Amino acid sequence: MKKHTAIKKKILVYVMGLLLIASLTACSNKNDNAEDDEEVVEQDNDKDSKKDKDKDKEKVEASSIPEYLKAIEGDWVLVYNIYHSEYGEDEAYDYCEMADDPYGGMDSEIIIGEKEGKLVANYKFNAYESTDRFYGVELINNEGSAYAECENKDWYLQFTNPFEDDYNDDRKITLVSDDKLIMVNEYSEEPTEDYSGYYSTSIYTYLRKSDPRLQDKEGLRYFDTVTVSNTTDLLNNIKNNTKIILEPGTYDFSTVDMNRITNPAIVENYGELEIESVSNIGIEAKDGADVLLCVDDAYSPVINFTYCSNVTLRGVTVGHNVEPGYCSGSVVHINSGSGITIDKCKLFGCGTYGVEAYSCSNLTVTDSDIYECTYGLLDLNDVYTARFVNCTLRDSSDMNLINVNSAYDIGFENCTFKNNKVEWESDYFVNLSEYGDVTFTDCVFENNQYNKFSNRKVKQINCRVTDNGDMTYEVDDSEDRLDRDGLLERYNEAVESQKDIDDQFSKGSMDQATMNSLSYTEYEMWDTLLNDIWAYLRENLSSEEMDPLTEEQKKWIKDKETSVRDAAADFEGGSMQPMIENGTAASITRKRVDYLVEKYLK
């Protein structure tokens, strides 16, 4: 019995010992885990503390950006570019191009925000043969003006150069009044003994993407609006980016005293007034007022636009204030222009034509009346894209009523032609050159008299005709058109002729009149070949190829006109001006011919 009791005690002690060991081990593990947990908590606290410190640091860095700079943050879209150039001390040229202008507009956006206490920008710029994009580029703050004439004299930002080239870091941006962002590029060449020097600025103006002013595209063209009541004030206020409101009355350009005209955009050539080298102009009658623009001379155009772009003439009557008869002046004359709009106007004779245009693109005539002209209705030469919409063309005579010479994409929509007469059997209602095209859509021809409607095929879509004449006449000119081999042969002949022309100029033995004539022959040679090549491409390229090429061609025309104008600026009014203009146009046109031949004919 005692033995069993002793054994039980030993077992009990052993078990209790095991329990004690287990209990101590558990406590030890618990303490170890507690220490580990404590260490993890301390580490988490350290991380949170570091995050808080980083955030505080970011806040400190962000707060270092001045408040006046924060106003530039946001999404900005390009509206227009103002280009200014100076040649020496006396010659200057200014031009404004809207971002959405036809034939070579621009698409640009700048998004500015904060990152790690710095201002950064995403930037894109797309234009003809020019594309730039970069993202997250730091903007460096500078004191002073972005350019000499800048409204903001206090500060500007400059892009750091992500590509390490000579172009990107030239961009400077700043804010000006009325919440506009401008980006400036400057370029200059110092004058020398033999060179007058050169300076230019391109000032790109942006508005916030949410700005309601973006809804009024035409209004954005005008930086100033003036109201005038006499001819002198009208002419003196025809300046870039200006809308001119005309009070009721007669504005007779024949009575103007040129001594009172201080506007360099108004020039007088052989007794005719010209509006020269202006862009984004609006001339319109006040609230539907009765306004007459006129001349008392049957041999001068009433309005003569030369090297002008984006001009709108609205709500006025324009004509020759003389008895009907023979004359040599058109009503509206356009020479080397683009974006000319005539809206809600009345154009009357005795002008030779209601509209006469040379080297022009994007001509638009809407809701207007053209009447009582003594040679014809329209004369379009070297014109790319013209639209006549909801117009009435009436009561005119005498020769070809619509002349279309080397003009493309000419369209009439919902127009009425009535009581017009072609006096000569050899003339036509539509006289179309070999490589032009005219389309009439939903038009009415009523009581017009002619022998043959057109000398070449024109398109008529859903038109109504009650005329005294043959509408179906056309000629088959397919045999006259050159094929690829014929064009290459003509091209090689032109290259050889160019060598002869260059030799004649290099001898220097011609008088100025002869050189002017030879330069015209040179330009005409390359321009004719270009038209021949273009006609071939129109017939042989698919629409997928031709459509973008057409847009490219329209932009090329605009650039050519600008280059010709710039080249002749120093010779304006002199005997050398025609030679400089023709020679420049010939050189540019030849390069275009070379390009088309190399890409599409060889």
CA distance 444 to 37: 93
| Per-residue confidence (pLDDT) for residue 456, from 0 to 100 | 84
Tell me if 345 is assigned to some domain: no
- H or E, element range at 9: helix 2-63
Tell me if 17 is assigned to some domain: no
Tell me if 241 is assigned to some domain: no
Residue with tokens 């009436």: 394
Are 302 and 331 in contact by the 8 Å Cβ rule? The answer is: yes
Same domain, 433 and 500: no
Does residue 346 surpass a pLDDT of 80? yes
Same domain, 102 and 120: yes
Same domain, 474 and 492: no
| Per-residue confidence (pLDDT) for residue 317, from 0 to 100 | 97
Same domain, 86 and 202: yes
Are 390 and 370 in contact by the 8 Å Cβ rule? The answer is: no
Domain tally, the chain: 3
CATH number at residue 493: 1.20.1270.180
DSSP secondary-structure letter at 492?
Answer: H
Same domain, 475 and 506: no
| Per-residue confidence (pLDDT) for residue 58, from 0 to 100 | 47
Note the pLDDT tens digit of each residue in 512-568.
778 888 888 898 889 888 888 888 888 888 888 888 888 788 778 878 877 887 887
Same domain, 488 and 545: yes
CA distance 11 to 525: 126
Q: Which of 190, 215, 240 is the last residue of a domain?
A: 215
Interval 307-315 mean pLDDT = 93
Q: What does pLDDT average to over the chain?
A: 82
Same domain, 562 and 450: no
Look up the domain containing 499 and give its range.
Answer: 484-601
Tell me if 395 is assigned to some domain: yes
Note the pLDDT tens digit of each residue in 178-204.
899 999 988 888 888 888 788 888 899
Give the model's confidence band at 429: pLDDT under 50 very low, under 70 low, under 90 confident, else very high.
very high
Tell me if 361 is assigned to some domain: no
Count how many Cα atoms sit within 13 Å of the Cα of residue 150 in the half-sphere of its side chain.
28
Tell me if 586 is assigned to some domain: yes
Same domain, 506 and 461: no
Does residue 256 surpass a pLDDT of 60? yes
Give the model's confidence band at 241: pLDDT under 50 very low, under 70 low, under 90 confident, else very high.
very high
Q: Which of 196, 215, 234 is the last residue of a domain?
A: 215
Cα angle, residue 266 at apex, residues 261 and 267 outer, rounded to 5°: 105
Same domain, 474 and 585: no
Same domain, 111 and 140: yes
Whether the CA torsion 446, 448, 453, 454 is positive or negative: it is negative
Burial class (CB in 10 A: 0-12, 13-18, 19+), 175: buried
CATH number at residue 147: 2.40.128
Give the model's confidence band at 435: pLDDT under 50 very low, under 70 low, under 90 confident, else very high.
low
Does residue 236 surpass a pLDDT of 90? yes
Same domain, 398 and 453: yes
Which residues fall within 8 angstroms of residue 187, CB to CB, at 6 or more apart?
Answer: 198, 199, 200, 201
Count how many Cα atoms sit within 13 Å of the Cα of residue 237 in the half-sphere of its side chain.
21
Interval 372-376 mean pLDDT = 91
Q: Which of 186, 215, 244 is the last residue of a domain?
A: 215
Tell me if 197 is assigned to some domain: yes
CA distance 405 to 414: 23
Same domain, 99 and 194: yes
Which residues are 134's β-sheet partners?
123
CA distances from 169 to 154, 329, 439 (A): 20, 52, 49
CA distance 306 to 317: 20
Tell me if 287 is assigned to some domain: no
Does residue 355 surpass a pLDDT of 90? yes
